[in-house]
Amino acid sequence: MTKDTNSSSSYKELHQANNAFREYFLNDSSESVAAYRQVMTSLAETIAEQVKGQQQPYSGKSPADLVAGIAALDIFPEHGDTLQNVLDRTKELVIESNISVYHPYCLAHLHCPTFIASLAAEMIISAFNQSMDSWDQAPAATMIEQALCDKLCEVYGFGADADATFTGGGTMSNFMGLLLARDHYSQTHFNWNIQLQGLPAEASRFRIICAEHAHFTIAQSASILGLGAHAVVKIANEGLDEEVAALENTILSLKEQGLLPIAYVTTVGTTDFGSIGAIGQLADCAHKHGLWIHVDAAYGGALMFSDKHKYKLHGIETVDSVTIDFHKLFYQPISCGAFIVKDKAMFNYIKLHAAYLNPESNEELGILDLVSKSIQTTRRFDALKPFIALQHIGVKKFGEMLDHTIALADEVSNIIDEDPQLQLAYKTPINAVVFRYVPGEALSDAEADAINSDIKIKLLLSGKAIIGQTAVYERAYLKFTLLNPMTSVDQVVDLLNEIKEMGAVLEAAYMAVCDNETVSNS
């Protein structure tokens, strides 16, 4: 009897507790739905106002200013505050000091403005929170992601044996390419299953070849794969005439030294220079010598959607695997990437069956658990973003946007090339423009480098422009990544003029220092 009373009172308490928690979640009560509507509508208004009113790509707040604002907060308070108050503070701390990816002067990195259609998709993704690991957590989403994977294979020219998976981005896609290359090599050459047995003794002799300008994630992958960053052998850059010969010679010379070249990575659009190699010829050469060829098309993969520029990717259909990044030239919100493999059987190297998630019996029922071809478990439904955006925009207009960015970069390159105060590093086949301010001959190379670095930092800390910086033959260069199709030539020319003015002021300051030194030395 006593026991019963106890249990019924705890039953009641439990029930009350439920009610007290409900207001914090999206759920079927009218209060929750009303609160959701209210907060999303008012937040959309706040965001719209911010985007509309932001004159500069950055507020110009210094690192110290930002830290001071955050330090004044109790991040994990004992008791919560109203959501409105929290969002108001967030507006001040974050929203107002974000880099505006929509601004024409946000042009340092492969950091893109986003399609409205994809932002709508993001709302669906987060509200419904499907998880792509197993079909019972994402039934329709799984089928859409798979349909998109099949479509991607088709677009990039692969046959029925190909398959793909969505990833968090280029880093993970490159890692997957090299993981499968390593495991396939080991299985076929040494009958050795790395997933079960760990690395074979021969692994210390495995080598991955790539160009000098390959993305750093190639070396990072080699490290994580237990091959060591030293396993990466660098050769001539993409797009240079000698690239294919360099690959051939390197493979032969490594083999002569008793080393085991397992894979070649070529980049379609190197991060700094946008270079693209002769993919088909490189693939032939790699295959002739038994290497896996992976194409890192994180930057340039989108060109497949441009009638004008897709020829630059000729031969991509012959390679073993490809990295595509949707959160770069596909204008998708972060994160959204894909990995394509020519032979879907390669996914077997990473396939694991968990009784709770993707039992083998599911396959027999036609239930598709995407975890079987991913190195992530819980995973976002990022595929919805390109799915919605491309249906809305259409391939033709999307291709025209890409063409426009490349035409803009060509025009800007010509303008720089004709300006004696500026120097163009070289013309790129995509929308990157690498150049520098050229001071008078009285200044040393080191001073010229310092002036270019100063220009970049000054623009950033004033919030006026976020431009890139890189090195060409160890000299400091500036970089525009002109991936925003809304940017006009005039806007870029204005920025170039600003850069030249800043360069002249900095140069005068250096000259003054030189003069003073000359005076004091004499």
Ligand X SMILES: *Cc1c(COP(=O)(O)O)cnc(C)c1O
What is the binding site for ligand X (CB under 6 A)? 110, 169-171, 174, 215, 217, 267, 271, 296, 298-299, 325, 337
Provide the minimum distance between the beta carbon of 174 and ligand X in the complex, in angstroms, as a whole number: 6
Edge-to-edge strands, sheet with 206-211:
163-167, 337-341, 321-325, 292-297, 260-267, 206-211, 232-235
When CB distances to ligand X are compared, the closest residue is: 170
- Spell out the residues 6+ positions from residue 155 whose beta carbon is closer than 8 angstroms to its own: 304, 305
Provide the minimum distance between the beta carbon of 48 and ligand X in the complex, in angstroms, as a whole number: 27
Query: Nearest to residue 113, comparing CAs of 96, 130, 128, 98?
Result: 98
Q: Which is nearer to ligand X, 132 or 506 (CB)?
A: 132
Query: Nearest to residue 502, comparing CAs of 518, 478, 480?
Result: 478
Contact (Cβ atoms closer than 8 angstroms) between residue 142 and residue 166 = no
The alpha-helical segments, DSSP class H, found in 212-329 are 216-224, 243-256, 279-288
Provide the minimum distance between the beta carbon of 107 and ligand X in the complex, in angstroms, as a whole number: 15
Q: Which is nearer to ligand X, 325 or 507 (CB)?
A: 325
Provide the minimum distance between the beta carbon of 292 and ligand X in the complex, in angstroms, as a whole number: 17
Query: Nearest to residue 267, comparing CAs of 107, 430, 154, 25?
Result: 430
At which residue do the structure tokens 């499968």 appear?
180
Task: Report the distance separating Cα 423 and Cα 385, nearest Å.
Answer: 39
Query: Nearest to residue 213, comparing CAs of 402, 477, 471, 479?
Result: 471
Cα–chain center distance at 448 = 31
Q: Which is nearer to ligand X, 186 or 221 (CB)?
A: 221
Q: Which is nearer to ligand X, 167 or 358 (CB)?
A: 167
Q: Which is nearer to ligand X, 323 or 358 (CB)?
A: 323
Provide the minimum distance between the beta carbon of 490 and ligand X in the complex, in angstroms, as a whole number: 28
Task: Report the distance separating Cα 304 and Cα 18, nearest Å.
Answer: 52
Provide the minimum distance between the beta carbon of 188 and ligand X in the complex, in angstroms, as a whole number: 27
Cα–chain center distance at 133 = 22
> Does residue 32 have a cis bond before it (omega within 30 degrees)?
no
- β-sheet bridge partners, residue 210: 234, 265
> What single string gives the DSSP state of each residue in 53-121?
H--SSS----HHHHHHHHHTS-SS-SS---HHHHHHHHHHHTGGGS--TTSTTB-SSS-----HHHHHH
Q: Which is nearer to ligand X, 329 or 408 (CB)?
A: 329
Q: Which is nearer to ligand X, 172 or 368 (CB)?
A: 172
Give the number of residues written for the chain.
522
Provide the minimum distance between the beta carbon of 298 and ligand X in the complex, in angstroms, as a whole number: 3
Q: Which is nearer to ligand X, 240 or 504 (CB)?
A: 240
Provide the minimum distance between the beta carbon of 295 and ligand X in the complex, in angstroms, as a whole number: 10
Q: Which is nearer to ligand X, 170 or 463 (CB)?
A: 170
Provide the minimum distance between the beta carbon of 327 and ligand X in the complex, in angstroms, as a whole number: 6
Provide the minimum distance between the beta carbon of 309 and ligand X in the complex, in angstroms, as a whole number: 17
- Spell out the residues 6+ positions from residue 82 whose beta carbon is closer than 8 angstroms to its own: none
Provide the minimum distance between the beta carbon of 511 and ligand X in the complex, in angstroms, as a whole number: 38
Q: Which is nearer to ligand X, 294 or 436 (CB)?
A: 294
Q: Which is nearer to ligand X, 146 or 270 (CB)?
A: 270
Which residue type sits at 350? I
Token pair recorded at residue 243:
């690239």
Token pair recorded at residue 508:
């005068």
Task: Report the distance separating Cα 285 and Cα 245, nearest Å.
Answer: 9
Task: Report the distance separating Cα 409 and Cα 256, nearest Å.
Answer: 43
Which residue type sits at 235? I
